[in-house]
Amino acid sequence: MVGGRIRSLAVRDLRFPTALGGHGSDAMHTDPDYSAAYVTLETDANDGLKGYGLTFTLGKGTEVVVCAVNALAHHVVNKDLAEIVSNFRGFYRQLTSDGQLRWIGPEKGVVHLATAAILNAVWDLWAKQEGKPLWKLLVDMDPKQLLSCIDFRYITDALTEEEAYEILQKGLVGKKEREEQMLKNGYPAYTTSCAWLGYSDQRLKQLCQKALEDGWTRFKVKVGADLQDDMRRCRLLRELIGPENILMLDANQRWDVQEAVEWVSKLAEFKPLWIEEPTSPDDILGHATISKALSPLGIGVATGEQCHNRVIFKQLLQAKALQYLQIDSCRLGSVNENLSVLLMAKKFQIPVCPHAGGVGLCELVQHLIIFDFISVSGSLENRMCEFVDHLHEHFKYPVVIKKASYMPPQDPGYSSEMKEDSVKQHEFPEGEVWQNLMAAQKL
């Protein structure tokens, strides 16, 4: 039974110094420190359960997200959880349509990241009170209840609530069998951990060989800083993984439109499946131009990790600007907004391949993509979820990967709860990790 009044919201600035090892480095983000604004919700219920949510950042600026979370907190504190989930669409709209805060959004940027952190914590609390992992909570929902969580404003020209209901109704057929399939085999994944741009060739080789031994068949390489170096590294990776395995490219928004076409055309010999984020994430027509130009080469366009909201995704789909859609569990407005994008992707018949490169993103997005297969898409064709092998040891319920696949979480909640020792050590700037680093810098 869902219940309890939310009596407090706390948010902490957590940072992990991943830049020291070159982890996460790409053509645009050369020194990322994987970080998060980490939210904790407490209620007056007797169950002692707490909700944990986060939004992913790269270090500097996390303090700004923390400020935004605190600015939104009054929408949450003193609200009854049962009232929130019974009118989740209304609550979502209340958060995203704050009459003053929306001016510095709306539904994008820092305020939307903060919204995601709060809503992720609400969903975690709801799933825990129901005693289910989040993917199972979603799978077990009646279609009408599920749709009541979604704000369809701004997207009805692409997907109406009636169309979404029909999709979910059709998804009921074979749902039990697909859930059993997930529990047995998991959801297919690809790895980004072998080929960060800041890694040496020797490290790339070692990690790639280990990944092959562990059964990985899908690999992504970062590109975009230097064409000749990209060609050398892509050749090296292709030689390591062989012609039968899948290779993807990721430019992290580095190029202009024509530059992207020319650059990727020169990398076509390595047979990449897609080029990810070739240009500005806001440039819908630019992505459409790139998609059209690269189609004859058999290279698709993938994007989405920095798409502000469902409206950008709507336009990318309408413009036929992408062949692989990459939702993010913390960039969009949590589960609520991601549900709308999953349903639009189903209508437009575009495969969803989530972004998960960052602290906690694998833990969260696995729930969404498992739900998508069971209740929405019903297909694994051209579908895979990113996996990055960093920082899982800091989570109470870390991802489980078997045979290069995500195994469905079994613990109640959204898998977003971190170990308290890790939180204390990495809280910025008072945590032990940052105190030691700052002391070392003074020497």
Residues forming the active site? 222, 355
DSSP 5: B
For residue 79, what are the CA distances in angstroms to 66, 97, 113, 130, 413? 20, 17, 21, 18, 20
Alpha-carbon gap, residue 279 to 244, rounded angstroms: 28
DSSP 378: -
Sorted by sequence, the CB contacts under 8 Å of residue 196 that are 6+ apart come out as 22, 23, 24, 25, 26, 222
How many other CB atoms sit within 10 Å of the CB of residue 44? 12
For residue 22, what are the CA distances in angstroms to 19, 30, 253? 5, 8, 19
Alpha-carbon gap, residue 186 to 261, rounded angstroms: 35
CA dihedral 424→425→429→430, nearest 10 degrees, is 60
Alpha-carbon gap, residue 135 to 368, rounded angstroms: 6
| Share of the chain residues as helix, strand and coil, in percent rounded to the nearest 5 | 45, 15, 40
Task: Quote the distance between the C-alpha of residue 252 and its chain's center.
Answer: 15
E-assigned strands of 194-269? 218-222, 246-250
For residue 84, what are the CA distances in angstroms to 79, 88, 123? 7, 5, 10
Identify residue 15 by its one-letter amino acid code.
Answer: R
From the list 92, 27, 414, the residue with the least C-alpha distance to 227 is 27
Alpha-carbon gap, residue 383 to 427, rounded angstroms: 36
Alpha-carbon gap, residue 83 to 81, rounded angstroms: 5
